Structure formats: C-alpha cells, structure tokens
Structure 1
Amino acid sequence: MTARESVPAPGPDDGDADFVLSGGTVLTMDPRRPRVEAVAVRSGRIVAAGGIDEVREVVGRRTEQLDLGGRTLMPGLVDPHMHSALVQLADWVDISPMTTPDADAMRERLRTATPSSTGWVLAQQFDPSITAGDPRLDRDVLDRLIPDHPALVLESNGHIAYANSAALRAAGIDRHSDDPPAGRYQRDAAGELTGRLEESSAVAAFVKGFPPLTTDGLASRIRDLLEHAASTGATLLHDCSIGAMDGAADLDALRRAMGEDSPVRYRGMLVSTAYDVWTQLGMRPGDGDDMFRVHGIKAWSDGSNQAGTGYLREPYLGTHSCGALNHSPEQLAEIIGRAHADGWQIGVHANGDAAIDATIDAYERVLRAHPRDDHRHRLEHCSILHPEQIARMAALGLSPSFLIGHVRWWGAAFRDRLLGPARTARYDPCASALRGGLRISLHSDWNVTPLEPLRCVEDAVTRIMAENGDVLDGDERIPVEAALRAVTIDAAWQCRADDMTGSIEVGKYADLVLLEDDPTRVDPTRISGIAVSQTLVAGRTVFAR
C-alpha cells in the first residue's frame, strides 16, 4: 500500500491560525481541560484550545473567526466496530423486524421476492428472536415459500443463514458433506440437512449465488457508507472484518473507496481466516497512512446469543444447548499467538460468557509466554461479562467493545425468552467494566444495528429497551461524559488512533463535529436525536446540514 504523507503537526511559530471556532460549548474529551472557550486550527491541526486570550496568540490578520452560534463542538465521533463488506447486501430483500414485524409479513415478502441477477432469491436481516409470531425458517419452509429458485436468507446477526433445497444442490452440499472449519451445516436426528448454516465458513459455499460486483461497484457502495457515516458526526470508522467476503479484493475496494478525499478516517482488522493471504501480500501492522491504516487481526470465538450460537456457561432457556465454540481452545490460542508474535493488535469476537472465558484463557496463555507492552488486544461485543472476567481482563490489559444496541433491541428477548434475568443483567455491563478499570468503547456492528454513535451514547446512558420501555439493569447505566468518551477518545485509543484524533488537543487533527445541542445537558432520551450540523476532518468540512 502506497502511503500518503501524514500532515505534520504545525509548530508554534508556523504562522497564524487558519480559523478559530468560538461562541458555543466546546467539549474536548481531554480530562485536563474538559471544556474550553475556543479552538484554533492551522493546516488541518489544532494549534490552540483554551480561553479566548490563549487562542488569541495564534490569531492574525488572515485568521477566519467562525461563530459556533451557541452550538456544541466536540471531537469527531468514532465507531470502533463495523463491517464495510456488508454493503454487498444492499440490494438483497430486507426482512428485518423493522420492515416485516411479524412472521406472516416476513413469509409473504419472501414468497413474492424477485430473484436476483443470478437467479437466486437473497434476503437479509431476518431475526427470529424479535419478530412476532412463529418466524421459523428451515429448508422445508423455504422450499414451500420459494420452490422454483435457490434461496438464501441471512440473519441480522451475521452468523446464521438458511438455504432451501435448490440452494443446497447448487452449492454441492448434501448430508455427506463435512462441516467446514469453524462452521456447521445443521442436521436433524436422522442426519438430514435442515438448511440452517452456522458461521461464515458454512455460508461460503453459497457465494456463487451472490450477484457479482466489480471493484468499482463495491468501492462506490463503500463510499456511500462513508458519506453516511460523516452525516452522523463520525470521523473515524474501524472495520472488524476486512477480507471477510473476498479476501484481498475487499481490501482493494476499500483502498479505492478511500481515494484522496475520504469523508472519514478508516482503521481496520484483517480476518484471521485469510492470514496466509495477508502474509503473502507482505502486510504488516500499521500499513497505510493517517486516513486508512490496517493494524489488527480479527478472529471469532463463537456466534450470536440471539441466534443461540453464542457459547454459554449454562444452557439457553428451555433448551439443553450452550451454543458452540468456533475453535477449540488450543486453536484459538494458536490464532492469537501467531498474530501477536507478528506484532498485530488482535480483536476476538466473544458473545457468550463461556466464549469470553475461552478467549481470556487464550489471551492469557499467549501474553504470559510473550509479554508485550501496549498490545491493546480487544474482546469484541464481550456481551455477558462477569465480575471475575472483568478482573482478569484488567490484569491482562484487555479491553471490551460493547454492541450496546443489544440492550435497546434485544434486551427484552434476552431477559424473557433466551437467557433469563440474571444473565441478562450482565449484558454490556458498562458501569461494572469502568469500575473494574477497563477502557470501554461502544459500537454499532453495522449492519447489525444502524451506524449511529449518538444513539450508542443514549443506549449506554439510559439502557431503555425498545420492546417494552423498561430499563435493563439501571445499575449499569453510565454518565453521559463516560459514554461520550466511549465514542471518542477511548474508542480512538482502541483503534490505535488516539495520538491523532479522539479529543480536542494541540497537535491533533481537527477532526470535529458540531452538534445542535449539548449531549451533557439535554434529557438523556434525546441524545440520539441531536442534529449534526457539521463534520470536519483535518479542518475540512465533509458534511454540513
């Protein structure tokens, strides 16, 4: 990857500021000076942040004075865990609970769906855990709904899919097929395929049904996503599955989408399943530049709790199933050990509490044998988290990134139908994690939930469940300031970008968002509705309302 030169931080004698922002609230996310009166920017960097008198020292004849108009200026927002590859699903049939809220509507949309250019019926965002009625899908149901075309339906969690008989035949999968590594073709008691596919490796055989996209076409869709992110106030996205769909081709499309004038910065982790590909390409930790840098390796220890594949200490309610690990403990430690030895930051997806146990065990095994300062290894989602796990993570220097939208959209399902109150009370325990000394972040896992950093803040502060309006374990609510850190400086730290963005401090890039209201002073249930007036990256306006 050819790196564009980083913009050097301007020195104190490099001339007048290009512009000064003042006349409103400025939240810096710098604990030494959490609020200031004015911010000065020169050559895309912050050269002063403080009182009006302090900033005046860098003001000259050519300095533009910009009035905030009473609005609130903050560091640009960060989504530390999303997936650009999922733009490939943009034209698939949407059967989410938001568009098809009950099973009858979902089935009707599938029955009347128009096949894609490949002749397959492709649908996404199915979620049986929060769709009303009896939303069961399997091979037999899909055969009745879609008898004349191959059909593939993806669950919103990204870990489960369903195929009809025609799709299984087209993929060459039958009852004699071996399960793929880290995945499963579900079978009934008689050994017949049910059509349920668990994990991405099981879905891989069906990609022949996906409509082909050129690199330019994929890059164009990614660019649309980047521009949408800028409209939400995001100035940094972190992709947790680069290469998940098509290996190096996904990376090429990302590079093309970023171009020379991307509206957001981008960081990412390469999928561990293509490790040999990255090695052959000569990829190294930190490859890239300040706009687009690859620094990590991503692995998956288990699946999705709402899908019943997250790996639990105790069975799901009303079942004998505890879910499953995607790798044996030894395999997981081998994956982590290889990436750690090569100097990569590592993120491991772990939803169930037993999967978190296995992941911490693997990290501990590797870190004891090969200690490394400032590794910033992460647990992604880290959903059902117990006090003793928090203590172990703190001792190892691990940090969690929480998919906080679980609380809003799936909290009631977890509490009442899947896990029970005791385990659900441990779901995304932000307050406990902070008390235990962990540095946390909040993410969307787009497209599992919408890319909305301010909504993530609201969910962590209120923990209100959409299904019934109840609060899920109010003791785990956190102050607004802590939630804002989890989508600014602490998220930037997890993404290895806190030296250049995430707070308003001298020397950092002027990656900023201007909000119509101060999130620390509005009713917490209104935080997600605060309008973004303007987003700037390195002092350049990339979105304006």
Structure 2
Amino acid sequence: MKIDLILRNGHVWTMGEPGRTHALGILGGRIVAVGDDATGLEADQVVDLGGRTVVPGFHDAHAHTGRFGLGLTQLDLSDATGLDDIYQRVVRRAADLPDGAWLIGHSYEPAGYGGGHPRRVDLDRIAPAHRVWLKHRSEHMGVGNTLVLEDAGVFGIDQVRGGIIERDGAGEPTGLLQEQAQALVNDLLVPVAVRELVEAIGAAHQRYVAEGLVACQEAGIGGGWIGLSPVELAAYQTALREGKLRVRTTLMPAYETLRELNGHDTDELELGLDLGLTTGLGDPMLRLGAVKIFADGALASRTAAMTDDFSNEPGNRGVLQLEPEELRGRIIRAHRSGWQVATHAIGDRAVGLAIDAYREALTRWPQADARHRIEHCSVTTPEHVSALAELGVVPVLQNYFIHTLGDAVLSNVGPQRRDWVYRLRSLLDAGIPAAGSSDRPVADGAPLKAIQRMLTRRTAGGQAFSPHEAVSFEEALRCYTVNAAHSAFLEHQLGTLTPGRLADVVVLAEDPTAVPTDSLDQIGIAATIIGGQPAHDPDDLLG
C-alpha cells in the first residue's frame, strides 16, 4: 500500500498505544500506521524529522475566537504599566479616530500595575469626543466614559440583575460595569457584521496554527452578553467556505439562543435550536457542542460566587448571574432536551450549585454519558472533587491564569482557601479527565505557556501557587490533547496519534523533556499539520 506521507526519525508521543515511537504514516488525512509499521510502507512523501519531538495537535477546550480576533485591531492594554500609561495610550489612539467613534481597549489589569481601574471622569477628560470602552483582562468587567454610559442608559438605571454598576460616594457611576451590567454596553456593539467576524476568525486562526493549535471550542456564541451576533454560526460557516476556518471548531451556543420547541409530547425536546438541533451536529471541522450557561463572575474581579466573603473585601461573596432556582432550571431543561451542558462556575458556591443541578438531572433523567462540564471550575472543595468524579462531570481549566491572575486571586481568596483554587493534580488523581484551555483573550492562548504553568505553578509576581497541584509534562499534554477531545465527545477522532485518528500533528522545535521547565514556553512550533496537510510550516520542514 502506498500512503500520502511518512514522518520518520522523530520522537513521537502518541498519547495512546504504543506510547512513544519514531514514525507516523498518513493517508487521506488520518493516521494509518505508527513506528515500524509506518516506515515499512511506501509513500508519496517521506519527511525526516531529524529527531524532533512530535505530539498530537493541541486542543483548546474553552476560547473566544471572535473576541480574540476582534481584539487584534483594538487597543491592547495587557502590558500597561499604570493608569497614566493607559490614559496616554487612549490619547494616542483617539488622535487617529474621528469624533464620535468607538475606542475599545482590552486586557487592562490593575493587579499588574498596582493601581485601580480607569475612571469615567478621567476618560472624559482625555477623550471627550470619543466613545471609550476599556475591558478588564477577565472580560467580566469594563469601564466606559460618559458618552458610552449615556448611550447605554446607565444613568437611568439603579442596578442590573446579575451585575454591578459601581458608584462613587455621591452615588454617581464611576464607569465600571461588572458582569451582566456589561450587557448594557454590549448591546451597543452587537451584532457584529458577519464579514467582520469572518475576518476576525481568520486572523485568530492564523495565530492559532502558529502556536500548534488544531482544535478549539467556542465558549458561548449567538446570545447573552458573551455573544457577538445572533447569526454568529453563519460567520463560522462562511469562514469554513472561504478557507479561513483553519482550526477544527466546536461551537457552544449561549443558553439565550435556545427557544421552546413544539415537537411531539413524547420527544422530550422542550428547549433547543430550530429543527431540534443539539450537541454533536456537524463534523470534526465545524460542529455544535455544549450549551453555555453562566452561573457567576470571576475571581480577579471578586464577582465569583463564594460561600464565604472574599478575604480582602468583607461582606462581598461575589455575584450569581442567575437566581439559584433559575440556574437549576436552565441546567435541567437543557439536559432533558439532549444537550451537553457547560456551566461557567468559578466560585465554590457556583460550583456547588452546578454540581447539585447536574446530580438532580442525571438522577431524574438518566443518560449513559451526558458528560456535562464546568467551565473554569476554579474553587473546588474536596467534596466537589469527589462529586465531579462520581458524576462524570468534566472540569475545563485555564492554568495560565496562575501566571496572569494568580497574584490578585491569592489576595482575594486568602490563605485558608488557596489550596482549593486552580486544582489539577488532585483532579487527575481522582480519575477526572480535566481539559486544558485558555479562555483566550482573557489569557495568552499559546498551549505551551499554559502547560509550563501546570508544571511550575508560579504567579507573575513569583509566588508559589499550591505547588502540590503540579503535574508532569505528559500529564499536562494529556489535558491539552486527549482530555480536551474527550470534553467535546471527539476522543474517537482527535487527541492521540494512533491508527484511525485524524492526522492532526505538531512538530516541536525542541524536546520538552530536555529543556528547563521554565523554558517550555520558549519552544518553537516547527510545524502544525491538520488532516495530513501543513497548516503552519515556517521552515519548510514538510516541503
């Protein structure tokens, strides 16, 4: 038999049987042979890897590609050194924009520069003729100037359910809007045009393949404060048709996109997309995944729903974006209608509510393999860990948060709860297939950066963050390959380099086991192969 491609003379981590080997054989976009079985075949092309390390393509189980792609043309504040620096950048960007235009910035982080949030009055002073909206790194809050707040109707609103409008001592809005209060501004910015989204997806995916990503899961499209357009799926279809969708994509519709279905009484499809579409429709290149439900906020902004007060803000236990009974109802209805459910739950109270709802749903309406998820699953008690294992719930984690948000998070949760935050080792030891992800653009999405933090567990400020939760490189790699595929019911297609699986391969420029752990994030991507075809080949390794 003559096949398409043989990759030989490599150090191949198959993440399946036979473990590690030296060669791969590819035909029709799939792995057909490994090791000696591969080198014993004829092929149209044979590539000598020169001893390079080969791993399954990385899979980001939770990202926001549209927002990341749009952010590539917005004002990047991720490396701002303080409020003065932020304000100077706003002034420079405003000089290039016509009066009345939107000036959107993203990724500012007070913990990174030791200051507070930008303020409405200061934004009014430096950019009075522009609509200024600056998004916090977490994407769970943002600051607007007066023009934005007036357009959004903020001055006529007392509070927003599931959100916070911060006010000064005189009761005036400071400009900071948290959680669901952001929807007031988001409603001014959406829908984003399909053409603009297509270009954003294309730009984002160009970055993804250069980082070794072959698959990602879009955590909330089409509705709610996270969605960018009610026809967002059309943008992904268009990107696929035009060759701009370069990474395998699983789309997670926001719960707000679902509606009552009027099928037969015995169908038990009470809630869904038109025609009864649910999780799994599509193919490995573009498909529907879980439905996304928001329970709470974020740790860095102290809006995650906690059982006890944040240690540095007495009286604040965060925010539930839905009342507990409404959250329970949404989860149960989605489960009954055949959806895999992905609940954003960060604080221990929110995690507990999601687990309770999953338990009730699975008890009253059993499914053999519902494989529900908790997105972030950041603060988990020992009891939560046991329940996740018992119920088969998949935690989808973002370990790069340890670096970018860790200093603020440690301050917010205090020493008594730090061992519950951003677990990994204890989840894997309990037999839980925790999936790796980035939450991009909240954090840098390069998988090797997250994998490094799974091993080192140090914050940007140098603090050790529960080092007993560290794992090995192979375990971290499993989170970003095998477990990520499992989280989307794709384990029979992706995640391992074994016969029958799709030929989604990453060639690393260096051996990750031979470099210092602190240098893992410096390893280059020599090639990314998706479906047996080169998606990224900067040095023409594949010819």
TM-score by length of 2: 0.90
Q: Give ranges in structure 2 of 5+ residues lacking alignment.
A: 261-271, 539-543
- Deviation at residue 280 of structure 1 after TM alignment: 3.4
> CA–CA distance in 1 between the matches of 2:341 and 2:31?
31
Instruction: Specify the SS of the correspondent of 2:503.
Output: coil
Aligned to 2:2: 16
Q: In angstroms, what is the RMSD of aligned CA positions?
A: 2.2
Aligned to 1:33: 18
Task: Select which of 150, 164, 184 maps to 1:205.
Answer: 184
Counterparts of 1:337-356 in structure 2, within 5 Å, are 337-356=332-351
Task: Select which of 231, 239, 259 maps to 2:218.
Answer: 239
Task: Select which of 292, 299, 306 maps to 1:312.
Answer: 306
Tell me whether 406-415 or 294-303 shows the greater mean CA deviation: 406-415
Task: Select which of 82, 85, 91 maps to 1:102.
Answer: 82
Aligned to 2:103: 121
Instruction: Specify the SS of the correspondent of 1:162.
Output: strand
The answer as to 2:520 corresponding to 1:534 is: no
The one-letter code of the counterpart of 1:90 is L
Task: Select which of 10, 31, 45 maps to 1:46.
Answer: 31
Contact 1:333 1:365 in 2 (8 A): no
Contact 1:85 1:242 in 2 (8 A): no
Task: Select which of 448, 456, 469 maps to 1:476.
Answer: 469
Counterparts of 1:77-156 in structure 2, within 5 Å, are 77-86=58-67, 87-96=69-78, 98=79, 100-114=80-94, 119-132=101-114, 134-156=115-137
Question: Can you list the C-alpha shifts for 1:296-353, whole angstroms capped at 9, x where unaligned?
Answer: 1011111111011111122112322111111111111111112111211111111111
Counterparts of 1:386-535 in structure 2, within 5 Å, are 386-415=381-410, 417-468=411-462, 470-535=463-528
Aligned to 1:369: 364
In percent, how many aligned pairs have the same letter? 29
> CA–CA distance in 1 between the matches of 2:248 and 2:38?
27
Question: Can you list the C-alpha shifts for 1:63-82, whole angstroms capped at 9, x where unaligned?
Answer: 43221111011111111110
The answer as to 2:56 corresponding to 1:75 is: yes
- Deviation at residue 206 of structure 1 after TM alignment: 2.3
- Deviation at residue 208 of structure 1 after TM alignment: 6.2
- Deviation at residue 407 of structure 1 after TM alignment: 0.8
Question: Can you list the C-alpha shifts for 1:211-262, whole angstroms capped at 9, x where unaligned?
Answer: 9853222201211111211111111111111223334322111111222644
- Deviation at residue 161 of structure 1 after TM alignment: 1.6
> CA–CA distance in 1 between the matches of 2:231 and 2:208?
23
> CA–CA distance in 2 between the matches of 1:248 and 1:298?
15
Tell me whether 385-394 or 142-151 shows the greater mean CA deviation: 142-151
Contact 1:120 1:209 in 2 (8 A): no
- Deviation at residue 156 of structure 1 after TM alignment: 1.3
Contact 2:111 2:407 in 1 (8 A): no
The one-letter code of the counterpart of 1:390 is V
The one-letter code of the counterpart of 1:436 is A
Q: 1:332 to 1:368 in 2, by over 3 A?
A: same
- Deviation at residue 440 of structure 1 after TM alignment: 0.7
Task: Select which of 274, 279, 288 maps to 1:280.
Answer: 274
- Deviation at residue 190 of structure 1 after TM alignment: 6.2
Instruction: Specify the SS of the correspondent of 1:153.
Output: strand
- Deviation at residue 490 of structure 1 after TM alignment: 0.9
The answer as to 2:244 corresponding to 1:265 is: no
- Deviation at residue 49 of structure 1 after TM alignment: 1.4
The one-letter code of the counterpart of 1:483 is A
Q: 1:251 to 1:212 in 2, by over 3 A?
A: closer
The one-letter code of the counterpart of 1:22 is R
Task: Select which of 310, 319, 325 maps to 2:320.
Answer: 325
Contact 2:436 2:483 in 1 (8 A): no
The answer as to 2:524 corresponding to 1:543 is: no
Instruction: Specify the SS of the correspondent of 1:80.
Output: strand
Aligned to 2:269: none
TM-score by length of 1: 0.90
> CA–CA distance in 1 between the matches of 2:30 and 2:297?
41
> CA–CA distance in 1 between the matches of 2:47 and 2:186?
51
Q: 1:95 to 1:55 in 2, by over 3 A?
A: closer
Q: 1:48 to 1:176 in 2, by over 3 A?
A: closer
Contact 1:407 1:427 in 2 (8 A): no
Q: 1:329 to 1:214 in 2, by over 3 A?
A: closer
Instruction: Specify the SS of the correspondent of 2:452.
Output: helix
Aligned to 2:266: none
Contact 2:94 2:127 in 1 (8 A): no
Tell me whether 143-152 or 370-379 shows the greater mean CA deviation: 143-152
- Number of residue equivalences: 519
Aligned to 1:250: 232
> CA–CA distance in 2 between the matches of 1:316 and 1:505?
47
Contact 2:191 2:230 in 1 (8 A): no
- Deviation at residue 529 of structure 1 after TM alignment: 1.1
> CA–CA distance in 2 between the matches of 1:203 and 1:191?
19
- Deviation at residue 186 of structure 1 after TM alignment: 3.7
The one-letter code of the counterpart of 2:71 is L
Question: Can you list the C-alpha shifts for 1:425-459, whole angstroms capped at 9, x where unaligned?
Answer: 32211001111221112211100111201111111
